[in-house]
Structure 1
Amino acid sequence: MKLGLRLPQRLGVDLQHDLVEAARTAEAAGYASLWTYERLLFPEAPVEPYAPPDVPWPETSRQAADPLAVLTAAAVATERVRLGSAVLIAALHTPIQLAKALATIDQISGGRIVAGMSTGWATDELQATGATRADRGRFLDETLDVFDAVWGPDPVTFRGPRVVIDNASVLPKPVSKIPVMLGGGGSNLGRGTSSKAVQRIAQRADGWLPLLSIPGPAGAAELRASWDRIRGMASEYGRDTSRMEMVVVGNVTFTDRPAGPDRSAFVGTLDQIMDDIHTAAEAGADELIVDLNLQDWFTSTRQMLDTAVEIRERAGAS
C-alpha cells in the first residue's frame, strides 16, 4: 500500500514558503502522492455540525487555502508524485471552468492529476455559491458529464441542465484521461445496493475515497466488504474493476496517552496511528492519505513534516 500526504492548507500556514517545502519534503521522503481538500468558508454559527451529533467545526479550518492553487504550486515544486484533490465539492464550481483548471494543472504537472470529487454536505458552503443540499447529486453528475465531454476531442457539443456548449474547442486537454475518484462517507457506504452514491461510484468512478472509521480487524473487514460491494456492482455495469482504486483517507488526531478501545480510527498515539495504517492495508487499500491538517499540536509546518517523515519511515520499515 502506498502513502499519500495532505498538503498544509490550514490556519497559520505560510503559503508563500510552506507549500513548496511540504511538497518537496514529502516527495523526497517517499510519499507517492500529495492531496488537497476543499473548505470554502468557516461559518460562525454553522447550520450543521462538523460531524454528528455535535462536533464543532475545527478552528484550523478557518483558513483552507484554495485546493487548485495549492495543487498548482505542488505541481511546479515536484516531479514524480501524483497530485490529487480529496475532495472537491462539485456544487461549488462551474463545471467547465473546473474541467479547464484541472486539465491545465495536469499539463503543468506532466499528467499527474487525480480529480477527487464529492457532493459535499455543508449548507453554509452550498448556499454561498447559489446551491442547495437538494442540488448536490445532480450537480455532481453534470460535472462528471462535462468532464467526459470537454476532456474528449474537439469540437465539443454538450447540453445539460446548466451547461450548454455548442460546437466549441475547449483547451487545454489533459495529458491523458484524468482519473476521477469519488468520496462518500465512511466504510459502510457499500451496504445499500439502492444508494445513488454507491451506484455513482460503481458506474462512473475510477476509484473510491472512503474514511476508515473503525480501527482493527472489524474496521478492515467492514471496509473490505464495502469495497467488494462497489466492485461487484461495477462488474455488473461491465467495467474493468482491476483499474479501480481504493484510496483511504486518514484524518489524524494525536493524543497524549493511548486512546481507549472505543476510539475512532486515526485517533491515538503514533503507535496506534501506525496500527490504523496497517488496518487500511489489510482492508485492501491501494493507498492511504495521511492528513495532519486538523492536528492542533502542529504549530509549524516543519513540525508537521517531521511527523509525516517519521510515519513514512515507520511504514516503510514495517
Structure 2
Amino acid sequence: MRLGLALPTFGADAHADGVIRVSRTAEDLGYDSLWTGDRVLAPRSPSAPCPSREGVMPRIYENHMDPLTSLAFAAAHTSRVRLGTSTLNGLWQPPLMLARSLTTLDVLSRGRLDIGFGLGWMPDEYSAVGVPWEGRGARLDETLDILETYWATDEFAHRGALFTVPRTVVGLKPEQRPRPPVLLAAFTPAGLRRVARRATGWLPVAMPLHQLMGRWKTILEEAEESGRNPAELHMALRVNPALTDVRAEPEQMPRSGTLDQYIDYARAAAEAGVHELFIDLGQSPATLDERIERAGRFVEGVRAG
C-alpha cells in the first residue's frame, strides 16, 4: 500500500517554508505522495454544516492556499513523490482553463500528478465564484468530457449544455499518457456509479473498514457491468486523525484515537486491499515540528507491519 502525507496548505503553517519542509521530509521518510485540498471561502456562518465530527468548519481553513500552485511549488522541491488533490473542486473554473492548469502541472512535475475531484459541501463557495450549486453532477460530467478530449486529441471542439469550445489546436499534452489519473470523491449511489464508469479510482475518507470495502465492492461490480476492468481502479483513502493521548474505544476509530491506533488502522486497510492511504496531520492542533515527528512515526509504524 502506498502512503501519502498532506501538505500544510491550510492554517498557520501554510507558507513557503512549511511546504518546502514537509515536501522534502516526506520524500526523505519514504512517503509515496503529497496531497492538498481546495477552499475559496471561510464564512463565519456557512449556509450548510461542515461534514465534520462537530459540524463546524475547522478554523485552519480560514487561511488557505491555492492547491495547484502549492503542488507546483512542492514539485520543484521534490523529485519522486506523486502530487495529488484531495480534493480539487473542478467546477469553480471553466473546463478549458482547468485543462490547461492541470496539464501544465503534469508537464512541470514530469508526470507525477494525481487529480482528485470533489463537489464540495458549501453552497456559499459556489455563489462566491458565480457557479450554480444545482446541477453539480451534470457540470462535472461535462467537465470530464472536455478534459478527456483535450488530453486525447490534437484538435477538438465541444458544444454541450453548459460549455462551448470553438475548434482549436491543442499542442499541450500531459506527460502521463493517455491522461493523468482522475479520482473522484463520491458517496451517493450516483457518485459511486460515476467513479465506476468514468474515473481511474475513488477518494473516500476514513470509515470503518467493513463499510469502506462494501462501497468499494459496489464500485467494482458497477465497473465490470459497464465493461471496464475492475482491477485497473485505484482507491486512495484520506485519513483525518483526531489524535488522543489515551487509546480510544474501538467504536471511536477512525474518528479519533492515538497515533498507534491509526497505524493499526492503516495496516488493516492494507490487508483489506486499500491501494493508497494518506494522512492529514494538520487536522489536530500541533506545531510543524510535532506534525513532522508524527509523520515519521506513522510511516515507520505502518511499514514495520
TM-score normalised by L of structure 2: 0.95
What is the DSSP-based 3-state SS (H/G/I as helix, E as strand, rest coil) of the residue aligned with 1:61?
Answer: helix
Alpha-carbon displacement from aligned partner over 1:144-164 (angstroms, at most 9, x marks no partner): 111111112221111122322
In structure 1, what is the equivalent of residue 74 of structure 2?
A: 74
Counterpart for residue 216 of structure 1: none
Query: CA offsets per residue over residues 65-86 of structure 1, 9 Å max, x none?
Result: 1100111011111111111101
User: What RMSD over aligned residues (CA atoms) do the two structures have, in Å?
Assistant: 1.6
Listed as ranges, the matches of 1:20-59 within 5 Å are 20-51=20-51, 55-59=55-59
Letter in 1 for 2:302: A
Q: Is the 2:4–2:33 Cα contact (8 Å) retained in structure 1?
A: yes
Structure 2 gaps, min length 5? none
The answer to whether the 8 Å contact 2:154/2:169 transfers is yes
Distance 1:265 1:132 in 2: 34
Provide the residue aligned with 1:89 in structure 2. 89
Shift of 1:277: 1.0
The CA distance in 2 between the partners of 1:173 and 1:266, in whole Å, is: 41
Per-residue CA distance 1:181-214 (angstroms, 9 max, x = gap): 00124xxx5xxxxx2112111100100011122x
Letter in 1 for 2:256: V
Matched residues in 1 for 2:257 and 2:81: separation? 28
The partner residue of 1:207 within 191, 196, 201 is: 201
* CA distance in 2 between partners of 1:62 and 1:184 (Å): 25
1:119 and 2:133 matched: no
- Match of 1:168, SS state, is strand
Establish whether residue 310 from structure 1 lines up as the match of residue 297 from structure 2.
yes
My pick for the range that moved more, 89-98 or 61-70, is 89-98
Q: Deviations over 1:34-88 (max 9, x none)?
A: 1111111111011111127852111111112110011101111111111110111
Letter in 2 for 1:128: A
The question of whether the paired residues in 1 share the 8 Å contact of 2:205 and 2:237 is answered with yes
Superposed displacement of residue 317, structure 1:
1.0
Point out 4+ residue stretches in structure 1 off by more than 4 angstroms: none
Q: CA deviation at 1:171?
A: 4.1
User: Which amino acid in 1 is paired with 2:107?
Assistant: Q
Is the Cα–Cα contact under 8 Å of residues 83 and 113 in structure 2 kept in the other structure? Answer: yes
Match of 2:282 among 290, 293, 304: 293
Distance, in Å, in 2 between the alignment partners of 1:282 and 1:53 is 27
Matched with 2:102 is 102
Q: Which runs of 5+ in 1 are unaligned?
A: 190-194, 214-218
Q: Which residue number in structure 2 is paired with residue 234 of structure 1?
A: 223
Q: In the TM superposition, what whole-angstrom CA distance separates every residue of 1:287-308 from its partner, at most 9, and x where no partner exists?
A: 0011112111x12x23211111
Q: Please name the residue that 1:282 is paired with.
A: 271
Mapped to 2, the partners of 1:10 and 1:49 lie a distance apart of 19
Figure out how many residues of one structure are paired with residues of the other and give that number: 303
Q: Which residue matches 1:180?
A: 182
Does residue 271 in structure 1 map to residue 289 in structure 2?
Answer: no
Q: Counterparts of 1:13 and 1:271 in 2: how far apart (Å)?
A: 24
Counterparts of 1:40 and 1:90, CA distance in 2: 12
Contact 1:250 1:266 in 2 (8 A): no
SS in 1 for 2:135: helix
* Paired residues of 2:36 and 2:84 also in contact (CA < 8 A): yes
Of the structure 1 ranges 40-49 and 164-173, higher mean CA displacement relative to structure 2 is found in 164-173
Write the letter of the residue equivalent to 2:262.
I
Please, what TM-score do these two structures have when normalized by structure 1? 0.91
CA contact (8 A) 1:90 1:139 kept: no
What is the 5 A alignment of 1:134-145?
Answer: 134-145=134-145
